Amino acid sequence: MIRPEAENIVRTELVYRSGPLEEILLPYYLFYVRIPNVNEMSQALGLQEFGVYYVPAIEGKYIKYGD
């Protein structure tokens, strides 16, 4: 896994992931990270490429399932 440098983080949001694999609704930090252009066409057109990272906002030890 590539660890993003702080200067490449361009936006941060607090989101709640949902979907068929999510059992409960939990908050995540969503980081938009500028990644180096490896695509020659993107470089030629002056485009930026971005990746996203989802990081849990709550540690698992604080989550209680059921009663």
Residue given tokens 């990746």 in the structure block: 51
pTM: 0.69
What pLDDT sits at residue 1? 53
**In this structure, are residues 30 and 12 in contact, taking their beta carbons and an 8 Å threshold?**
yes
DSSP of 11-28: EEEEEEE-STT-SS-EEE
Q: What residues does each domain of the chain span? A: 8-59
What pLDDT sits at residue 50? 86
Distance of CA 49 to the CA centre of its chain: 14
Q: What is the mean pLDDT of each run of 10 residues along the chain (67 residues)?
A: 76 90 86 83 82 90 75
What pLDDT sits at residue 66? 67
